Amino acid sequence: MEPILAPESIDLIALAPVLVLSVFAMMVLVVDLFGGRNKTLLVFISLVGLLMTAISAFAKHPIPAYSFNDSYIVDHLSLFFICIFTISSALTILLSVEYNKREGINPGEYFALILFCTVGMILLASATDMIMIFLGIEIVSICLYVLTGIQRGNVRSNEAALKYFLLGAFATGFLLYGMTLIYGSTGSTNLFKIAEVTQNLGAQSNPLLLMGLVLLIIGFGFKVASVPFHMWSPDVYQGAPTPVTAFMSVGPKAAAFAAFFRVFAEAFPAMSPSWELLLTIIAVLSMFFGNLGAIMQTNIKRMLAFSSISHAGFLIMAVITKTSLAGSSLLFYMLAYSFTTFGIFGIVILLGRKGEENLEMKNYSGLAYKHPILALSMTILLFSLAGLPPFAGFIAKFYLFSAAIQEGLVTLVIIAVLNSAVSFYYYLKVIIFMYMKEQETEFRIALTPLTLFVIVIGVLGTLGLGIFPNSIIALASY
């Protein structure tokens, strides 16, 4: 794709979302320091910052626009992902207000870390240079390490943060070493220049370049929690505060997939025979072991962790397909997944108790009789994750599978459809507890307005994208 605008060395308008959100994140820290005990203002500043970030993302026109010596791009893919990031971060903040009061978490540093993490996510989605990609990954990772362990008095949270940090640092080493080998083989870290070099058949057989590609796949595989690099996911999802679990399962994962897709679709399309088989194996293993692990769980957060591993397998299909239609299906899938995931975790927070208790599936027994609307909402959201019509998850999978079939990946699509059918089993387990089991524990639900608002947004988004998908599919197409 040829740039419409000549690349500029410095273009602050293109970088506006990063600058705006960084300023608001620092404002949150300053207000937290000098604003006294009333923390309501922090929520307002954070949400306004995210809104201004989403608006400022559209300041650059026309697109695609390249800047900072071709290392940063404003295009359709990055703009849509920025909208997903701001929506997911805003929903996380809304979920966290009452949760933080219940669990005694300081909101100042918490909200600031979410905003700084979103800055890293924007860099990841907009980067066209490996140095910029590495910078974005590090910003996101460091924020998530701290957010995972932000409940300092919770042993499980501390253990999850330590595991995440150690394994994350290890995976980052693979990623950085892979980038180093690719730079040594091609003489550039810019994705477009790497693509030019890899057009040469001689360069494609360079063993250092092939090793660099394998190491990149390992690094990205860890960030998106695909098999066999998923070992951190269940423990971290269970140990992290529930709003943070919802956040990391949507925003950072979407950012990692944005970079994953851009690197392999734009820098290495000529070498696709060298990496397609490896990614296909990873996708199939992620679907299979994600489903197998989820079937064996009794804790709902761990079940959702293994479910996200299975969904990572589906999303890797978009990277393998590497067409513009695959990119559009990736965008739609992540948006649908965002609404569904936040709706589910909103219900988990409502039913939870102080100290992260009440998270076993059996604790949902009889929910349909005591709180039928909550049970119906949970059913809609779980059916969407399973890919049943007429919900958003069905449209997202159909769109993704269609893109893969057009590229001849029929066998992979058949495997994906079978795994999607298997996933219905463990989602149905939760529904059976809600509708067909007698109540085992007393429901002490404080119907907090902000959490309820997130659940309503999740359900309406899931239904809206499923029943009226055309307008969003048109926006996602490029």
**In terms of C-beta density within 10 A (0-12 exposed, 13-18 middle, 19 or more buried), how is residue 182 classed?**
buried
Exposure pattern of 87-101 as b/e (b: 16+ CB <10 Å)? bbbbbbbbbbbbbbe
Whole-model pTM over 0.75: yes
Contact 123, 259 (CB under 8 A): no
The total number of structural domains in the chain stands at 1
Strand partners, 360: 299
Range of the domain at 112: 16-476
Contact 108, 39 (CB under 8 A): yes
What does the chain come to in residues?
A: 478
Sorted by sequence, the CB contacts under 8 Å of residue 1 that are 6+ apart come out as 64
End-to-end CA distance of the chain: 12
Is the residue at 7 inside a domain? no
Q: What is the pLDDT of residue 358?
A: 66
Number of H helices, E strands in the chain: 20, 2
Is the residue at 193 inside a domain? yes
Is the residue at 81 inside a domain? yes
Q: Over the chain (478 residues), what is each successive 10-residue block's mean pLDDT? A: 54 89 94 79 93 91 84 91 95 91 86 95 93 93 93 86 90 92 91 89 82 93 90 89 92 93 90 90 94 91 93 94 89 94 92 71 86 92 92 93 92 94 92 86 76 94 92 84
Strand partners, 190: 129
Is the residue at 338 inside a domain? yes
Residue in the block written with tokens 């998106």: 224
Is the residue at 450 inside a domain? yes
Contact 41, 28 (CB under 8 A): no
Is the residue at 170 inside a domain? yes
Q: What is the pLDDT of residue 25?
A: 95
- Please tell me the distance from the alpha carbon of residue 338 to that of residue 461, in angstroms, as a whole number: 9
- Using one digit for the tens of pLDDT, what is the confidence trace for 456-471? 999 999 999 999 998 8
Is the residue at 5 inside a domain? no
Is the residue at 183 inside a domain? yes
Strand partners, 66: 73
The single-letter DSSP state of residue 332 is: H
- Using one digit for the tens of pLDDT, what is the confidence trace for 165-212? 998 888 899 999 999 999 999 888 999 999 998 888 777 788 899 999
Q: What are phi and psi of 65, to 5 degrees?
A: -125, 130
